[in-house]
Amino acid sequence: MNHPIHISGMGIISALGHDAASNADALLEERTGISAITRLRTRHRELYPAAEVKLGHMELGALAAPASLRGWTRTALLGLKAAKEAVADAGIDPRWPRTGLVSASTAGGMDRAENLYRQYFLDEVPDEAAQYVGTHDPGDHTERIAAELGITGFITTISTACSSSANAIMLGARLIRSGRLDAVIVGGSDALSRFTVHGFHSLMILDREPCRPFDAARAGLNLGEAAAYVVLESEAHLSARKGRSLARIAGFANTNDAFHVTASSPNGDGAYLAMQQALRSAGLSPGDISYVNVHGTGTHNNDGSEGRAVMRLFGDALPPFSSTKTFTGHTLGASGAVEAVFSTMALQHGACFANLRFQHAMPEAALTPVIRTLRGQPLRHVLSNSFGFGGNNTSLIMSVT
């Protein structure tokens, strides 16, 4: 790619902490955010751990601080908090012309809808419910964040299951490269909801213990909630305003596995193609990658398939790799952006984060991830994978500036 695309700011809220600094500390100090469910009122709370942001509606509302809390769902509040941090970190004014917003979510405002749904049908809808009518679609949080930050012009939402926010970052990079935008806030947000916990419970892919990606004994994923955004800017715009670059988006690709509605193909064809095409778009070869932040959900299917795809691509020269879902759980539509932020932090800190709780390699792809967080690593290019239902596969490459 001839025109560099810079990451000039980032923001995140997850079970690890409410801002980027606390998230980085937890990763470096190997403190997981996965614990017993204490906030979400789900029947399954005794059964599964999760990575919750331990803030109630009013506390989160005070932290995100929209002009009025009316109609704000948890997904929208998490998103606003992280987007504000990213904007402040970059030092941009989101009201500038040619500044856009591309966000992502899978569950949208479901955390409200699942408890108020039947009230929407009443002839006289009580105000508690009325303020949330029509807020459960994924577009709601994006529109609210745009209105709150004063962003007009191009805004959109991508929902491609668990690759959603990686795709938001990829679209943002393409919009910058095409010259349509000078700056764009990209990322995603997903709150935990009974809907998603019960859904993944129905699919029988939740681990009753803290998840163990890439381990022979892995038994599924843990759910998490988070929002993460980065600010992408063109080189010309960044240097004209004398902003600073944290890293570059050097490559990206999206492919489809075209194998099954939910399952990944045994050899990870879509995943392999996404990684290969991302490398090609960056003008890099597998040997240039210094760390891989894998999708690594902890399900039998994903890790086997992704493991084989990684082995096919890198052969015997596999760089250090890990799943940071061992810290944050699987944050679904937010996970691609969460891990793009973590990949940027890896470059900043020269660190490869631990794949917590790993003990034994999988028989189908005998790979050993990073067991203890590595410091002082001369990282240049980090590959981040995000895969989703519908066969959706996205790979991003973050590089040092």
Catalytic residue list:
162, 295, 330
**Around Cβ 115, how many Cβ atoms within 10 Å?**
15
202 binding another protein? (CB under 8 A) = yes
Contact 166, 336 (CB under 8 A): yes
Residue in 94, 109, 172, 388 binding another protein, rule: CB under 8 A: 388
CA-wise closest residue to 41 among 211, 198, 199, 224:
198
How far is residue 320's CA from residue 322's CA, in Å, rounded to a whole number? 7
- H runs (alpha helix) in 264-319: 269-282, 300-314
Contact 398, 173 (CB under 8 A): no
Q: How many CA atoms lie within 13 A of 94 on its CB side?
A: 28
Choices 2-10, 58-66, 135-143, 355-363; region in contact with another protein by CB under 8 A: 135-143
Residue in 21, 36, 88, 147 binding another protein, rule: CB under 8 A: 147
CA-wise closest residue to 186 among 204, 203, 173:
173
Q: Letter for the amino acid at 247? A: A
DSSP codes, 158-216: E-BTBTHHHHHHHHHHHHHHTTS-SEEEEEEEE---HHHHHHHHHTT-B-SSS--TTBT
Question: By CB under 8 A, how many residues form the interface with another protein?
Answer: 65
390 binding another protein? (CB under 8 A) = yes
Choices 2-10, 119-127, 355-363, 369-377; region in contact with another protein by CB under 8 A: 119-127
Choices 84-92, 189-197, 342-350, 373-381; region in contact with another protein by CB under 8 A: 189-197
**Around Cβ 316, how many Cβ atoms within 10 Å?**
5
Residue in 203, 236, 240, 366 binding another protein, rule: CB under 8 A: 203
337 binding another protein? (CB under 8 A) = no
How far is residue 316's CA from residue 235's CA, in Å, rounded to a whole number? 36
130 binding another protein? (CB under 8 A) = yes
Beta bridge partners of 234: 5
**Structure tokens given for 236:** 């010309």
Beta bridge partners of 188: 228
Choices 29-37, 149-157, 304-312, 363-371; region in contact with another protein by CB under 8 A: 149-157
∠ CA 149-165-116, rounded to 5°: 70
Q: How far is the CB of 172 from another protein (least distance, A)?
A: 12
How far is residue 315's CA from residue 324's CA, in Å, rounded to a whole number? 23
Q: How far is the CB of 125 from another protein (least distance, A)?
A: 5
113 binding another protein? (CB under 8 A) = yes
Burial 240-258, CB ≥16 within 10 A → b, else e: ebebebbbbbbbbbbbebe
Residue in 31, 88, 117, 244 binding another protein, rule: CB under 8 A: 117
Whichever of 16 and 102 has its CB closer to another protein, that residue is 102
Whichever of 99 and 324 has its CB closer to another protein, that residue is 99
178 binding another protein? (CB under 8 A) = yes
Choices 19-27, 259-267, 306-314, 321-329; region in contact with another protein by CB under 8 A: 259-267
189 binding another protein? (CB under 8 A) = no
317 binding another protein? (CB under 8 A) = no
Whichever of 42 and 355 has its CB closer to another protein, that residue is 42
Chain residues that interact with another protein, rule: CB under 8 A: 42-44, 106, 113-114, 117-118, 120-121, 125, 130, 133-134, 137-139, 142-143, 146-147, 150-161, 167, 171, 174-175, 178, 194-195, 197-204, 254-262, 269-270, 273, 388-392
